[in-house]
Amino acid sequence: MTSSQPGSAHPISPTESSSSTSETAPPSAGRPLSPTEQRNPASSGLDDLDTLGVLRVLNSQDHAVIDAVAAALPQLAELVDIAADRMRRGGRVHYFGAGTSGRLGVLDASELLPTFNLEPGRVIGHIAGGQAALVNAVENAEDSGADGSAAGAELGPDDVAIGIAASGSTPYVGGALDAARANGAHAVLISNNPHASLADKADDHIVLDTGPEVITGSTRLKAGTAQKLTLNGFSTALMVALGRTWDNLMVSVVATNAKLRERTVRILREAADLGDADARALLESCDGDLKTAIVVSFTEAAPALAASTLESHDGSVRAAIAELVGTQKPVGSDDGTDSEGTGPGTVGA
């Protein structure tokens, strides 16, 4: 078993191999074939169409993705709340998948460090076959329930295990969910099959019912797109819940290049209503730390005090300002926005 921590993902090849069609184990007796493996009458005669016609069929079918994700939002919100509570206790989130599903989990985990400054090892992506499977198909890795069990056995009672499988029957994912759940982790299956055979191995089953694919069994299409949107929503809402944003601004961004350093200046100007020169000077006085600069701008606290208060509140700008000024409303705000508002000057998470 190889796990991928945030920032460790390799570039994904634009050529998807048969991994998106091979993650399905044979259906058990009496269980219907996964919709993702059924033929789609809307794409019949696909190879007789011209290029624009093929693209129009694909685009038309993609509309089902938004509806499928929307239907799952209440369950997804519950999962975010559970994960946030466990992460506040020191727990972690683990994604498990094979082929396309596994790559999407690793991708989502790897993007949380640069976007939200999330510490490595807090959200981890596991893919059947290890890092080699990120760029090349490892054909039989998804069939190893033992490898999944070994990966899932690393989890504890404060952790969350999220298995991702279009068919809902991948043995690697089933092994991971079984082992994680046995150790007390909260286990969730995300699949595109309402009759997924792995559903009984999870505490909850989030179904993204995207139906048959334009190319039969090619789950890198609608199923994969729905999984990507769902993981985007889950991890973004989780980071908001953990105080990694200020209003709708990316205040936890890791400014590792010139573009991102300029972004921190723009964010500070937006958040604190400062001119360019003042924003740059404030950032410099705070050693380039954007969150510290925002707290200083609203509380007039010394940078060292602002930084230590942020640290004591796990990086939440809202909580740090609340402690330093004794109110959710920023010092000097005159826009009439209360602590639950979203306008400029509002204390964000």
> Does 308 lie in the same domain as 213?
no
Q: What's the number of domains the chain is made of?
A: 2
Q: Give domain status of residue 38, yes or no.
A: yes
pLDDT surpassing 70 at residue 247: yes
Mind spelling out the 3-state secondary structure of 1-42?
Answer: CCEECCCCCCCCCCCCCHHHCCCCCCCCCCCCCCHHHCCCHH
Q: Give domain status of residue 338, yes or no.
A: no
Which range scores top for mean pLDDT: 238-247, 248-257, 322-331?
238-247
pLDDT at 301: 95
> Does 166 lie in the same domain as 67?
yes
The CATH number for 84's domain is: 3.40.50.10490
Residue 337 vs residues 241, 271, 272, 291, 296: alpha-carbon distances, Å: 21, 14, 15, 21, 20
pLDDT surpassing 80 at residue 146: yes
Tell me, what amino acid is at 77? Answer: A
> Does 171 lie in the same domain as 262?
no
> Does 119 lie in the same domain as 264?
no
When pLDDT is cut at 50, 70 and 90, the band that residue 17 belongs to is very low
Of the candidates 112, 129, 108, the residue with the CA atom closest to the CA atom of residue 120:
112
> Does 233 lie in the same domain as 178?
yes
Mean pLDDT to the nearest integer, 194-213: 97
pLDDT at 29: 56
Domain that holds residue 10: 3-24+31-241
Active site residues: 111, 142
pLDDT at 256: 85
This prediction has a pTM of: 0.83
The CATH number for 319's domain is: 1.10.8.1080
Domain end: 191, 214, 241, which one?
241
b/e map 2-16, b = 16+ CB within 10 Å? ebbbbebbeeeeeeb
Q: Give domain status of residue 344, yes or no.
A: no
Cβ-Cβ contacts under 8 Å for 78 (sequence gap 6 or more): 204
> Does 237 lie in the same domain as 178?
yes
The residue ranges of DSSP E strands in the chain, in sequence order, are 3-4, 93-97, 123-127, 160-165, 186-191, 204-207
Domain end: 192, 210, 241, which one?
241
pLDDT at 336: 40
How many CB atoms are located within 10 Å of the residue 29 CB? 5
> Does 317 lie in the same domain as 193?
no
Distance CA 143, CA 140 (A): 6
pLDDT at 338: 40
pLDDT surpassing 60 at residue 19: no
Q: Give domain status of residue 339, yes or no.
A: no
Residue holding tokens 């602590």? Answer: 339
> Does 149 lie in the same domain as 56?
yes
pLDDT surpassing 50 at residue 10: no
When pLDDT is cut at 50, 70 and 90, the band that residue 253 belongs to is confident
pLDDT surpassing 70 at residue 343: no
> Does 232 lie in the same domain as 313?
no
> Does 279 lie in the same domain as 235?
no
Q: Give domain status of residue 249, yes or no.
A: no
Mean pLDDT to the nearest integer, 9-30: 41
Q: What share of the chain is helix, strand, coil (3-state, %, to 5)?
A: 50, 10, 45
Of the candidates 119, 344, 116, 342, the residue with the CA atom closest to the CA atom of residue 251:
116
pLDDT surpassing 50 at residue 16: no
Mean pLDDT to the nearest integer, 242-256: 90
Domain end: 241, 269, 295, which one?
241
Q: Report DSSP state, residue 118.
A: P
Measured in degrees and rounded to the nearest 5, phi and psi for residue 279 equal -65, -45
pLDDT surpassing 80 at residue 33: yes
Tell me, what amino acid is at 75? Answer: Q
> Does 198 lie in the same domain as 54?
yes
Q: Give domain status of residue 332, yes or no.
A: no
Q: Are 315 and 252 in contact (CB under 8 A)?
A: yes
pLDDT at 326: 78
Mean pLDDT to the nearest integer, 332-343: 40
